[in-house]
A and B are shown apart, each in its own frame.
Chain A
């Protein structure tokens, strides 16, 4: 079924009887060519590109709960490609380009909104670093724009320019960055994958891998054994627990990241702002809520909830940079599990077990990567070689010293 304005009107006039489920609810078949574990953004995107771009058939996505219930359903919806390092920038720029055509590709309005993202600058050293980053972006074909304080003030007059502990000295903007209706990404990929024949199997928990002679033959699930030629994990925060079932220990720690939304407000913020002297970033959703976040809680945890110190830290940053929000109310706070890697960058790679693949370590930057992650993972699964934009995301980079450490924080996952 194709969605369109005409279809909406037609259904409205005929009692909405023609709408069909956005995806089927099939029972698993005994065997698939490729099984993707994890019905989140990355898993569903992988299925979509495998089927649509790489022409693979006989694919299943296995999800222990309901699709889109992990980080794709609880992030702060920002897309951008403002990375600096060679291993990262081409990949994230590829992702941003995929976002730009995604709605037409999926026939689903995920409300991709290139409202721009502005990283504020508060010191000379920060400006130097942002110039280097902006240049790296432009040399990779992305857009970047350096602004001085007066230009920022013109765009965002309500930021704290008069009384700031760390005055705003400028900003690095990426106008093509923006926000997306996050749940719709999962649903759009799911609907498209389903329409290309992918079986999306919800409420099916993976309980183990069947591995014989170093080869993965399939998965044990709450719905029984399902065989596969290739099994591909894409479970983000649950990576450690899942891969432990294959006796793998990952260079990843799981951490809590909280996010926040305010009550609905008439338009305040046109784009995304990040505070460079505190842990705070914010955008405003189409519905009117200020969506904001900050640092991870800092301790290892699988609990999808956080604690007050970080809530306070984030709101302090918000009040410092944007004191007009004092009387707006925080409506809801929530937590997700971040698969924090040792260098802050992801892994899209085969494992030492034949037929078992891994995609994870997205830290808290996975949402913006969703299309490219799916595309690159699909490429790896279909062709057996890394996608050209994802050649650096290998397991062995820690062994060989090819870390991709954007923030320069080293092998301490909670600092990335």
Chain B
């Protein structure tokens, strides 16, 4: 029996013994223990080190507000830093290690900082480390960074799954203590859809920690019967191990359910945690209260904890922190701890009560009007020094000291939408303010209703009022009056801790005030008070009370800092859910994907699409060989490219032509049925937005194509125009990108190839189906299809579309029918090369800052109609005489590399920003030209053809000489496309 601090009773299952290790040492605990309760049972009080001074620390609390007992839990890739031992459920095989210490928890070399604490006061680092200037980054900061931080990440990918989901309810009840259970019973019996969530693994809240009776029975019996009733109702969902992390707009609450944190590893197919977005018509906050400490000299030793926590460990976990316990309190609650512990056989050294009129105890000594002025014990409390009312001092031998400064309602969630709490003078505490998140009601201790009776009553009343249902009968329970008078700190201490994790003392607050950092926000930021992993749940109140005193203001005048989500720190993994790795974004596959994969294509991410980049064949060792071959073969005979990813938008309605006339800067009203036209659309600010084609299939039916990148944005834009700018127009738009598989068939033999599959009744000769024709056809014996005679490559070319489910078959058919022409599939690289050779703008040119004028299409912007962006495109700044114009770029030495992103400089003169003449947008090796070529924008570029310039790219360490040429490297007359 090593659990020497075990007491009788509690909710642990003594029949189930669990083995665990802390810092490599083996211990045993029981099911129902937390790591902290099990360690305390084994007489381990030292569990961590503080952030700055590396002071030895044990648990201050028994809950999620814990600042001290932070450990690294688990090992390997599941290592989890900064885990609160006070909430970590014990499981068999649990491994935990202390953190932020070197070499060991008991001997920490960094504790030297504590010796120098007088030099390391609040904000000292703002005043020093400035000389010599270079030393900050080279010497001082690296030392500080290494010393800072708490636990360590494993540096391995988190192996666990996380999930997300939505839930809806009439009422979300946050906290399942006495008020939460009553609220839940009230709502549930009235037939409301109820979600009852509690961060703990056991329902009952504070009732688990107390010895009070309800209806003359043990309170936990009432909890059990209430939970049993709720569990039996179909309209109730019980969510233990679920923290409501935030109250967001529109009654949406963020909730994190810990599915597997109490298990060694998550069961197969189960996530570690789930993020729920709970949509609640109403919420009742029953989050209870947090006990507040008192600051005094050396009040941070292991063994010193909140009195209510000592009670929790004794009553719920059947353990004490030590055999001899003292209490330091300013209110009656501290006496409860003494009474409960004494009843369980723990020796009470004394109750030190600051109040001269403190009650007496029947089984313990009370020192009235006394204060604790110091404590001893390097790695754990041994003695507490008491200044008694008569001025004498007395040493109390004790291994644990329970401190109670009263209780603060947990108002956090009431403030998540920037509401401020209000001061309740009777309780000397902040209570929920008048402005709550819409739909929220507060009950129980969170509202300041501290007695069990008051909590039960306010729970049912809050639910009844909020939901308009009947209150339920309130069971009998204690209703002790609450006396809370403020007592924040013991005078005269040289170091009395407020924020134990961040090592902020009363003196730091005083220094902050002295130096003018007097608003609570300045106090927080200057001293780091409340910025630790507990966000000041036990420390903020003391700090601002002291600031108020120093500033001669009332506490409500000083106010609080802002409460922000999450209520307790939340794994980043659960906020990411399943959207990681390959599932970060959906992957869109083109209809020919399987076929391309069989061909050994190399794929590339294009937005969410995966597209074939090139198709290597046997013997090719470098991607350029494949791409050059694809380009050459296409220009020589015929190539096929899957261009399904281009956005397709069906535009229908009587006003479809009028609509497109508004969308595109060039005219569409008079486009004949059966014809396609290139279209350029401008943004409202006159800058080019996207380009593509629109084919008129019927008077009232157009098919618009967009670039792959802008498919969604153009669709969104069209919907905006349709709904907001032309609400009366008879026009409908729908995206059909996925509905049609579309392939470019390009090259001099493209017609011959298509003629083999297009059904014979359709004439696709040059006369019957000239350049820029379009139409509905059938292929392969009756399969409906669409044919467009458009060309991105500059060759005689078509784009053929069939319903997506036929896409794979069509590609295979094109390949087999094309064998006689040596048909060549080509990927996005060859596509890019050919469009650069032809001088077609693409995403690199349509970069959101270029105008129609820049793109060499200034004259396309119709002056005879009003289209979006046409007016603003006339602004002087967009039409300056030396405006950038799209040009072609050719290296003087064919061996040299043209770099996209390079800048253009005059042949002579300085190379700097002031002499910048333009930049290269796209570059590729052109097998047709036998050198690299580029497209770019050059000031006054249309008048500078033939000029020699320098292309500089300092970031890739390149300078070459180039010649400015026409952007149309291939077939500038456009004869091929019309062939």
A327 to B79, CA, bound (A): 8
Q: Is A134 an interface residue (CB 8 A)?
A: yes
Known: A16-B121, A122-B605. A408 touches B844 (CB 8 A): no
B146 near A184 (CB under 8 angstroms)? no
Counting CB contacts under 8 A, is B335 at the interface?
no
Name the segment of B447-455, B479-487, B769-777, B869-877 touching the other chain.
Answer: B869-877
In the bound complex, what is the Cα–Cα distance between A89 and B127 (angstroms)?
Answer: 32
Q: Name the residue on B nearest A103 (C-beta).
A: B130
Which of B124, B587, B920 has the most C-beta atoms of chain A within 10 angstroms of its own C-beta? B124
Q: Which of B892-926 contact A (CB under 8 A)?
A: 899-903, 911-913, 916, 919-923
Give residues 10-54 of A contacting B (CB, 8 Å).
12-13, 16, 19-23, 25
Complex: A122 Cα to B585 Cα, angstroms: 14
For residues 853 through 899 of chain B, which have their beta carbon under 8 Å from a beta carbon of chain A? 872, 875-879, 899
Q: A332 contacts the other chain (Cβ, under 8 Å)?
A: yes
B565 to A333, Cβ gap below 8 A? yes
Q: Contact at A303–B136, with CB atoms within 8 Å?
A: no
CA distance A319 to B582 in the complex (A): 11
| Chain A 140-176 per-residue mask, 1 if CB under 8 angstroms from chain B, else 0 | 1100111000000000001010011111000010000
Number of interface residues of A (CB under 8 A): 122
Residue of B nearest to A146 (CB): B955
Of the four ranges (under 10, 10 to 19, 20 to 34, 35 or more), the interface on chain B belongs to 35 or more
B149 in contact with A264 (CB, 8 Å): yes
User: When the two chains form their complex, are residues B118 and A312 in contact, meaning their CB atoms are under 8 A apart?
Assistant: no
B843 on the A face (CB < 8 A): yes
Question: Does B392 belong to the interface (CB within 8 Å)?
Answer: no
- The stretch among B228-236, B245-253, B297-305, B782-790 that forms the contact with chain A is B245-253
Q: Which residue of A lies closest to B607 (CB)?
A: A123
List the A side residues contacting B604 at CB < 8 Å.
Answer: 123
B621 within 8 Å of A by Cβ?
no
B108 contacts partner chain A, Cβ-Cβ < 8 Å: no
When distances are taken between beta carbons in the complex, the residues of chain A under 8 Å from B532 are 264
Find out whether the CB atom of A408 lies under 8 angstroms from the CB atom of B248: no
Instruction: Judge whether A8 and B119 touch: CB under 8 Å.
Output: yes
Which B490-537 residues sit within 8 Å CB-CB of chain A?
A: 507, 511, 514-517, 519, 521-522, 525-526, 528, 532-533, 535
Q: Quick one: which of A258-275 are within 8 Å of B by CB?
A: 262-268
B692 at interface by CB-CB < 8 Å: no
Question: For chains A and B in complex, what number of residue pairs have CB atoms within 8 angstroms?
Answer: 368
In the bound complex, do residue B511 and residue A19 qualify as a contact, i.e. CB atoms below 8 Å apart?
yes
Known A-B contacts A128-B844, A129-B847; A104 and B955 likewise in contact (beta carbons under 8 Å): no
Beyond A66-B521, A315-B576, whether A139 also contacts B912 by CB under 8 A is yes
B511 proximity list for chain A (CB < 8 A): 16, 19
- Judged by a CB distance under 8 angstroms, whether A311 is at the interface is yes
Chain B, Cβ-Cβ closest to A190: B516
Given A136-B903, A266-B151: A131 touches B585 (CB 8 Å cut-off): no
Q: Is the CB of A278 within 8 A of B584?
A: yes
Asked if A107 contacts B913 (CB within 8 A), the reply is no
Knowing A89-B913, A128-B922, A286-B144 touch, does A408 contact B847 (C-beta < 8 A)?
A: yes
Closest to B416 in A: A305
**Known interface pairs A324-B157, A330-B566, A408-B849. Does A135 touch B955 (Cβ–Cβ under 8 Å)?**
yes
A111 contacts partner chain B, Cβ-Cβ < 8 Å: yes
With known contacts A109-B129, A139-B911, A319-B572, A410–B566 Cβ distance under 8 A: no
Is B378 on the interface with A (CB-CB < 8 A)?
no
Q: How far is B128's CA from A183's CA once the two chains are assembled, in angstroms? A: 16
Given A139-B911, A312-B577, A330-B566, A324-B154 contact (CB < 8 Å): yes
Q: Which 4 pairs of residues, A with B, have the shortest CB-CB distance?
A: A408-B848, A131-B901, A326-B158, A401-B875
Residues of A near any B CB (own CB < 8 A): 3-5, 7-9, 12-13, 16, 19-23, 25, 65-66, 68-69, 73, 86, 89-90, 101, 103-104, 107-115, 122-123, 125, 127-141, 144-146, 158, 160, 163-167, 172, 181, 183-184, 187-188, 202, 262-268, 277-278, 284, 286-288, 303-305, 307-308, 311-312, 314-320, 323-334, 342, 397, 399-403, 405, 407-411
9 sampled A-B residue pairs with Cβ under 8 A: A7-B128, A107-B130, A130-B901, A136-B916, A286-B148, A311-B575, A312-B577, A331-B566, A334-B564
- A sample of 9 more A-B contacts (CB under 8 A), given A5-B128, A266-B153, is A123-B606, A125-B844, A131-B901, A132-B902, A135-B919, A141-B913, A165-B585, A330-B569, A405-B849
